[in-house]
Amino acid sequence: MNRWINILKIAICFLIMVSNAEAEDENRATTTLETLTVTAERFPVQEKESSRFITVITSEELKESGAVNVVDALKRSGGFAYKAYGPLGTSHGGMNSTLSIRGVKDGELILINGVPIQGSAGHAYDLNTIPVEQIERIEVLKGAASTIYGANAMSGVINIITKKTKKKSVKSDDSSVVDDTDKAKSVKISTEAGSESYQNHTISASCPGVNIGANYQHLGEQEEISRSYTNKYRYATDPTERYSLNLNANMFDNLYFDYLASFNKTGFRKIFDDPKKAYEGTDQDQLKHFADVRYETADFRTKIFGNYDIMRRSQYTAKTPDDDNRNFNAGIEGDYKFNISDWRFTTGASLIHRGVDYSNQYQEHHRNDAALFMEIKNTFGERLTATAGFREQVIYGETGTPDYDRFLPSLGLTYKINEQLNIFANTGKAFRAPTFNNLYYESSFMVGNPDLKPEEGWTYETGAKYDTDILRVRFALFHMAYSEKIEIDRRGYPQTYFNAGDYASTGVEWEFGISPFTNQSGWQQDILLYTAGYWADPTAEDTSGVEYQSGPKLQNSVGFSYLTEPLVLDLNCQILTSRERNLDSYAALNFYGKVKAWRGYVTFGVDNIFDEDVQVTGDLSEGASNLYVYEDLGRLFKVGYEIAF
């Protein structure tokens, strides 16, 4: 760690010299807008003032990336290792697309409006089902957040904030209330088509107090999404169709209702290299619902929520029972903040019921998660802010299964050096209980382990945040150390789960945005250069105690944007190297453009311009019982039109 501490010292000294030099220039003004985040703490806080590494991706930034859904947008934003088992992130049975943080697999917690949505069966989530048009912004917190959000927030949190409703009235210059209903009404329509029979169509409407939208996506059949070199077969897919609906309503003052629904339909064909072997075909459809009711004021927030999904799979080439797999979560939580002198307090409590019912693998199981939370915050000398958090997390298992009780503390520090530069540090304890799949799953290729222990450990992070109107920097060194990390024993079939001895990831994360000509006149002032990513050394111990690489070491996104009202251009390259299990490195280049035309915009883009072979998951390591890979789509052309009225 001494090497990383020295690197941090050099970086901070450099930023101090630059910021002091700029402070002496009286003709220069910092115009960077402050970014609010609700994920770093339970109530809104300025991102720069938080003691955590936070990335906020706005609705416009999501669209300007050219992504087709949320998981696609996030993998382009940098700092994630993307893993998938189907095109555009489609789930393949119980195998879902994921976005691991800092090389730590299954450590991320996914929220919608602060509500956990991951299925209890296998920590699964389907961000591919959420179109970017339904999102207000996404906040990504890197590092352990179990103190704030409980179990599952091991390596970070992805909080998806849905579209906000428009206000019915606004204040005029003399502070009187003026009816502005017409301005609060709008309808947006976008349509997009491309190669591979790709389609993406959205319609949305906003009026005072209500926002509603619908989306349809289609992708043609794919001849080869994966290949098993050992068992000599490949998987192909039937056409994929997705339907989604969103509704947001401001029912009364401070009272909100959110609803998201999606339906996905596709099929998988297992085709053997030996033509004498008959292929195996499976139809698959999945229905998901999410809803919450939120009451929010400046000092008090409470919500009730629930999500339910069901996946049905029917193998039509064999006489096997249909899969009918269900996940359901429901809960209530509340938070209240108050001041005592200069000390700021936030207290909260939550209760979540989690359940599953897998028709063929292990039937119905459930548990209840309960927690009490407190956070204390104070600023000393107008520069140093300290935040201490405490959480008592209790998980009550069903009869005959173990209960878990963990105390989860955290501490964060932020020091304001000047108006441009803040430095920060934080540490916290992380905790995650085994999922129902980990404990009970049973099939021909995977069996659960009811003797698994929970994962737990500590994370440590320190870094700097620097802002001017030309340069934005976020930089952090981290060390994440766990014990009993749940891994898969891949030495034979059926595979099973085990508690790895020690599991760690140490490295550096960065995010840079440069507008080199922002203070100049002319077209070049709208140019933005950006990069975001991490380098880490993720390791774990196998069943024999031998250390191995457990995740990818380097992920980086590098891009160029030109952002004006009549024209938007974005060129983005996703890079993933030094990967686990001998998977190939790759660099996928994407292009997106939007130009004003008539009352709307013409959009156009190319994903994976050079048609790279992108291995999104697999195992090509020496001695593996099954050598296989899943690959992402090749080159994809897209063109569309969007209009608002």
Terminal-residue alpha carbon distance, the chain? 56
| Residues 573 and 589: beta-carbon distance below 8 Å | yes
Task: Give the tens place of pLDDT for each residue, 601-637.
Answer: 999 999 999 999 999 999 999 888 889 999 999 999 9
Up-side HSE of residue 545: CA atoms within 13 Å toward CB?
0
- Which residues fall within 8 angstroms of residue 475, CB to CB, at 6 or more apart? 8, 11, 463, 464, 465, 508, 509, 510, 511
CB atoms within 10 A of CB 3: 8
Task: Give the tens place of pLDDT for each residue, 315-347.
Answer: 999 888 888 999 999 999 999 999 999 999 999
H or E stretch covering 233? strand 233-237
Task: Give the model's pLDDT for residue 144.
Answer: 85
What are the Cα distances from residue 542, in Å, to 123, 484, 486? 22, 11, 10
**Does pLDDT of 226 surpass 60?**
yes
Chain mean position to CA 567: 28
Residues 247 and 226: their CA atoms lie apart, in Å, by: 36
- Supply 390's token pair: 């405490």
- Supply 236's token pair: 């192909």
Task: Give the tens place of pLDDT for each residue, 251-284.
Answer: 889 999 999 999 999 999 999 999 999 999 999 9
Please name which of 4, 118, 99, 65 lies closest in space to residue 535, comparing C-alpha atoms. Answer: 4
Going along the chain from its start, the domains and CATH numbers come out as 2-166+183-644 (2.40.170.20)
Q: How confident is the model at residue 12 (pLDDT cuts 50, 70, 90)?
A: low
State how beta strands 108-112 and 156-162 pair: parallel
Up-side HSE of residue 594: CA atoms within 13 Å toward CB?
21
Classify burial at 283, counting beta carbons within 10 Å of its beta carbon; exposed 0-12, middle 13-18, buried 19 or more.
middle
- Percent of the chain residues past pLDDT 70, beyond the cut: 92
Angle at CA 470, nearest 5°, toward 469 and 472? 85
- 442 forms bridges with which residues in the sheet? 447
Q: How confident is the model at residue 395 (pLDDT cuts 50, 70, 90)?
A: very high
Q: What is the mean pLDDT of residues 504-516?
A: 95
Question: Considering Cα of 83, then 84, then 89, then 91, what sign does the dihedral take?
Answer: negative
Mean pLDDT of the chain: 88
The per-residue b/e assignment along 370-391, b for 16 or more CB within 10 angstroms, e otherwise, is: bbebebebebeeeeebebebeb
Whether the full predicted model's pTM is greater than 0.85, yes or no, is yes
**Does pLDDT of 225 surpass 80?**
yes
CB atoms within 10 A of CB 123: 23
Peptide bond into 494 cis (omega under 30): yes
Residues 568 and 184: their CA atoms lie apart, in Å, by: 26
DSSP 73: H
Please name which of 354, 330, 325, 353 lies closest in space to residue 441, comparing C-alpha atoms. Answer: 325
